[in-house]
């Protein structure tokens, strides 16, 4: 009898969890009509938000590769003083609330700081610009690429790398022909996670870049703006599209893991 | 070419692994480096190859001091204990890797790789990836990959340790004949006396960071040095041994087995575990000596 109640409770709790996730999704998908969606996606300000989001997040993925792979290499392959510090720095943006990250960036890059002044005196204005969005997204999402790539590098048999060296390859050539191909899956996984994080980023972005339609309004910002100003239909349209993106990424992610395992 | 270690010292985190080690291996010699696990054999090879930087001492290949050369400049062939084949490259590409780096012409690469594929009897597997090879095949590919670049010195780190006895014997024969044919100076690391006796022109014993004894294999087995520790001998079979001196914990015995051509004096630990079989014969199990 006790067993029976235990099992029932587990099922009941699971059902609560499923409702928690599914009901909001259901609400989102059923409150609007197809025609309404089409109408919204024709609106220039919505289209611009979609373009800005895709543009910035893809640039972020590219930049995170350029910055993240060398850092991952260093952390995985080298032993040096202060390695723990860099390791912690990689974890920091993930555990930090995005709004706090945004505030920190705003203070650093804003007109009131020396650094911000120096930049704007050279004609570089990062605040309230697309560049600001990119920096904010990069800040919060690059750790995913670094961690995933680092783990991939670290799991490569050291002797395979040594074999390449003794066969006459330089460290750089070994990096190109052995490390990168063998870390490929880890790098792809990191890219997908970074992209999905950048696409969904709201807190840091809105702090640094504000919500200027046609200039700095990303999809997430558009959702917030429209919902707050009594335009739920526009919000819903963007939200649905964002969901489609993240579902697709999640699916690719799961499939990759399956392929790797099988 | 000859290879020489002069006064090599190496310690890890304050623990000394190699202590002022001197070792000279002659041109064309098949040299076996024997020693217990953890005795610093891999470290010695890594120092030779430039993969590990010694705290002190220098490495000479031929008459040239290569101490400051990086591994890719030392012209060394290295066969790793775990084969370390490139998992993302086919057998053919694994062997061709060093040749491509040397900008050898395509036709010549094919010619030289095919020669080794045939030599090690693995032509049918040339388009397979390493994960589809047996242990013995991987071993042979690793050997071919190291030899095809015509290295000045060939280093082999316990290459047979993962092979079963049958395969081991075949690969040993092959290795011996390839080495004789190419005449490449070879340093072969093992902890197996049988193997050492079969393969080595000369054998040296690495223990406690020092080369304890360096002799022809014949001399080694004839006159084991004073405190020659053999705790690393792996006894796989019942050995035909005659005890020389015994007490309740230790026995000094002479081995007269077929596999070993010469009697070896070993010290048996944990004497109570050693079963008396016949008069003068002791049954030893792995790890008891
Ligand atoms: N990179 C390393 N860092 C710390 N200790 C090491 C390292 N490499 C080897 N050692 C230690 O040095 C000793 C000798 O190792 P090794 O040369 O691999 O011995 P062998 O090959 O004879 O088994 C061992 O105690 C091992 O733990
Ligand atoms: Mg070893």
In the prediction, which pLDDT does B254 show?
A: 54
Each residue's pLDDT tens digit, A195-241: 999 999 999 999 999 888 899 999 999 999 999 998 889 999 999 99
Q: What is the pLDDT of residue B216?
A: 53
Write out the residue range of the structural domain in which residue A173 sits.
Answer: 43-261
Query: Both A23 and A111 in a single domain?
Result: no
Q: A159 — contact with chain B (CB < 8 Å)? A: yes
Residues A117 and A68 in one domain: yes
From the CA of B101, how far away is ligand 2's center (Å)? 28
A76 in the same domain as A16: no
Residue A244 or B289, more confident: A244
Report which bound ligand comes closest to the CA of B17: 1
Task: Output the pLDDT for position A6.
Answer: 95
- The ligand minimizing its distance to the Cα of B46 is 1
- pLDDT score of B75 more than 50: yes
Q: Which residue has the higher pLDDT, B226 or A28?
A: A28
pLDDT above 90: percentage of residues in chain A: 73
The residue of chain A with its CA nearest to that of B74 is A166
* One domain, residues A144 and A171: yes
Contact B84 A160 (CB under 8 A): yes
A137 within domain boundaries: yes
pLDDT of A14-44, one tens digit each? Answer: 999 999 999 998 888 888 888 888 999 999 9
How far is it, in rounded angstroms, from Cα A184 to Cα A181? 5
The partner residue sitting opposite A168, judged by closest CB among B81, B84, B149, is B149
Nearest to B82 among A157, A165, A182 (CB): A157
- Please report, rounded to a whole number, the percentage of residues in chain A having pLDDT higher than 70: 99
Contact B77, B155 (CB under 8 A): yes
Cβ of B42 less than 6 Å from ligand 1? yes
pLDDT at B280 (0 to 100): 36
Nearest atom (ligand 1) to Cα of B45: 17
Give the pLDDT confidence of A94-112 residue by residue, as tens digits: 899 999 999 999 999 987 8
Residue B12 beta carbon below 6 angstroms from any ligand 1 atom: yes
Q: Do A168 and B78 touch (CB under 8 A)?
A: no
- Residues from chain B contacting residue A181 (CB–CB below 8 Å): 88
Does ligand 1 have an atom closer than 6 angstroms to the CB of B43? yes
Distance B19 CA to ligand 1 centre (A): 13
Is residue A224 located within the same domain as residue A121? Answer: yes
Give the pLDDT confidence score for residue B148 in this predicted structure. Answer: 94
Indicate if ligand 1 lies below 6 Å from the C-beta of B38.
yes
Total domains, chain A: 2
Same domain, yes or no: A161 and A217: yes
Mutation choice for ligand 1 from B21, B36, B40, B196, CB with most ligand atoms inside 8 A: B40
> Does residue B62 register a pLDDT over 60?
yes
CB B200 within 8 A of CB B179: no
Q: Is residue A37 part of a domain?
A: no
pLDDT surpasses 60 at B126: yes
- Examine the pLDDT at A138 and tell me if it is beyond 50: yes
Mean pLDDT across chain A, nearest whole number? 92
Window from A113-117, A159-163, B80-84, B131-135 with minimum mean pLDDT: A113-117
**Atom 9, ligand 1: residue with shortest CA distance:** B43
Residues with Cβ within 8 Å of A235's Cβ and at least 6 positions away in sequence, in order, are A222, A223, A224, A226, A227
Q: With an 8 Å Cβ cutoff, are B84 and A173 in contact?
A: no
For residue A262, the model assigns a pLDDT of 58
Indicate whether A12 and A100 sit together in one domain. Answer: no
Does the pLDDT value for residue B231 go beyond 90?
no
Q: What is the pLDDT of residues B138-166, one digit of tens each?
A: 989 999 999 999 999 999 999 888 778 88
A6 & A100 share domain: no
Tell me the mean pLDDT in the region B174-194.
89
Is the CA virtual torsion B226, B232, B237, B238 positive or negative? positive
Cα–Cα separations (whole angstroms), residue A25 to A170, A236, A242, A243, A251: 53, 11, 12, 9, 17
Residue A36 lies in a domain: no
Per mean pLDDT, which range of A10-24, B91-105, B178-192, B268-282 is the poorest?
Answer: B268-282
Task: Clarify whether residues A25 and A53 are in a common domain.
Answer: no
The pLDDT assigned to A55 comes to 96
Q: CA B272 → CA B29, B114, B246, B254, B283, distances in Å?
A: 42, 55, 11, 18, 11
Q: Which residues lie closer than 8 Å to A65 by C-beta, 6 or more apart? A: A145, A187, A191
Q: Supply the ipTM of this predicted assembly.
A: 0.81
On whether residue A142 sits in a domain, the answer given is yes
Ligand 1 and B17: CB distance under 6 A: yes
Question: In the structure, what pLDDT confidence band is assigned to residue A186 with cuts at 50, 70 and 90?
Answer: very high
Q: pLDDT band for position B172 (50/70/90)?
A: confident
Residue A127 falls inside a structural domain: yes
What is the C-alpha separation between B200 and B266, in angstroms, rounded? 20
Q: Is B217 in the pocket of ligand 1 (CB under 6 A)?
A: no
In a domain, A165, yes or no: yes
Nearest CA in chain B to A170: B72
**Which of A168, A174, A178, A183 to mutate: most B Cβ within 10 Å?**
A168
Q: What is the mean pLDDT of residues B179-207?
A: 88
pLDDT at A177 over 90: yes
pLDDT attached to residue A211 = 87
pLDDT computed for residue B269 by the predictor: 39
Quickly tell me which residue has 């969606």 as its tokens.
Answer: A37
Q: Which two tokens stand for residue A132?
A: 């600001």
A59 and A40 Cβ atoms separated by less than 8 Å? no
**Contact state of B86 with A178 under an 8 Å Cβ cutoff:** yes
Round to whole Å and give the CA distance between A74 and A66.
13
**Using CB atoms, which residue from A159, A170, A182 is nearest to B84?**
A159
With 70 as the cut, is the pLDDT of residue A187 above it? yes
Residue B255 has pLDDT above 60, yes or no: no
Indicate whether A76 belongs to any domain: yes
CA of B41 to the centre of ligand 1 (A): 8
Q: Does one domain contain both A19 and A89?
A: no
Is 80 exceeded by the pLDDT of residue A65? yes
> Are residues A75 and A179 located together in one domain of the fold?
yes
Q: Say if A38 falls within a structural domain.
A: no
Is B103 exposed, middle or buried, given 0-12, 13-18 or 19+ CB atoms closer than 10 A?
A: exposed
- Answer yes or no: do A145 and A91 share one domain: yes
Checking if the pLDDT of B63 tops 80, the result is: yes
CATH number for the domain that contains residue A242: 1.10.3720.10
Task: Give the model's pLDDT for residue A125.
Answer: 82
CA distance B280 to B141: 44
pLDDT band at B239 (very low <50, low <70, confident <90, very high): very low
């Amino acid at each position: 009898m006790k067993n029976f109640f235990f099992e029932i409770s587990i099922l009941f709790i699971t059902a609560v969890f499923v409702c928690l996730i599914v009901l909001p999704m259901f609400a989102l998908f059923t409150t609007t009509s197809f025609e309404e969606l089409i109408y919204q996606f024709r609106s220039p300000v919505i289209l611009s938000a979609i373009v800005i989001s895709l543009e910035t997040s893809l640039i972020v993925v590219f930049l995170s590769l350029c910055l993240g792979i060398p850092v991952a290499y260093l952390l995985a392959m080298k032993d040096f003083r202060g390695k723990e510090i860099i390791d912690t720095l990689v974890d920091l943006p993930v555990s930090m609330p995005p709004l706090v990250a945004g505030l920190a960036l705003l203070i650093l890059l804003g007109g009131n700081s020396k650094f911000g002044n120096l930049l704007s005196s050279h004609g570089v204005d990062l605040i309230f610009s697309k560049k600001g969005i990119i920096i904010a997204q990069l800040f919060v999402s690059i750790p995913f690429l670094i961690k995933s790539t680092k783990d991939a590098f670290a799991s490569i048999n050291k002797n395979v790398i040594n074999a390449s060296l003794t066969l006459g390859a330089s460290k750089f050539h070994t990096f190109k022909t052995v490390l990168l191909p063998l870390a490929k899956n880890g790098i792809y996984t990191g890219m997908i996670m970074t992209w999905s994080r950048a696409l969904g980023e709201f807190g840091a972005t809105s702090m640094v870049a504000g919500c200027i339609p046609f200039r700095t309004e990303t999809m997430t910002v558009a959702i917030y703006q429209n919902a707050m100003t009594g335009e739920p239909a526009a919000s819903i349209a963007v939200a649905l599209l964002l969901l489609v993106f993240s579902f697709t990424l999640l699916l690719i992610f799961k499939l990759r893991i399956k392929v790797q395992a099988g | 070419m000859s290879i020489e270690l002069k006064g090599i010292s190496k310690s890890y985190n304050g623990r000394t692994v190699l202590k002022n080690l001197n070792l000279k291996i002659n041109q064309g010699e098949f040299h076996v480096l024997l020693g217990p696990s953890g005795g610093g054999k891999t470290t010695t090879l890594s120092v030779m190859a430039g993969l590990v930087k010694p705290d002190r001492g220098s490495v000479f290949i031929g008459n040239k001091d290569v101490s400051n050369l990086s591994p890719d400049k030392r012209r060394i062939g290295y066969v790793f204990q775990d084969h370390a084949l490139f998992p993302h490259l086919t057998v053919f590409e694994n062997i061709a890797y060093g040749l491509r780096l040397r900008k050898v012409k395509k036709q010549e690469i094919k010619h030289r790789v095919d020669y080794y594929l045939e030599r090690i009897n693995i032509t049918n597997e040339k388009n397979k990836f390493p994960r589809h090879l047996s242990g013995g095949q991987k071993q042979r590919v690793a050997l071919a990959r190291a030899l095809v670049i015509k290295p000045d010195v060939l280093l082999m780190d316990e290459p047979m340790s993962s092979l079963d006895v049958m395969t081991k014997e075949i690969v040993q024969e092959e290795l011996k004949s390839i080495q004789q044919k190419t005449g490449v100076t070879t340093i072969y690391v093992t902890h197996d006396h049988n193997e050492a006796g079969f393969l080595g022109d000369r054998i040296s014993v690495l223990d406690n960071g020092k080369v304890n004894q360096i002799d022809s294999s014949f001399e080694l087995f004839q006159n084991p040095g004073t405190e020659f520790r053999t705790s690393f001998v792996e006894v796989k079979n019942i050995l035909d041994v005659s005890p020389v001196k015994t007490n309740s914990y230790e026995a000094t015995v002479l081995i007269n087995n077929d596999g070993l051509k010469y009697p070896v004096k070993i010290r048996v630990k944990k004497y109570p575990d050693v079963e008396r079989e016949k008069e003068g014969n002791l049954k030893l199990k792995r790890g008891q000596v």
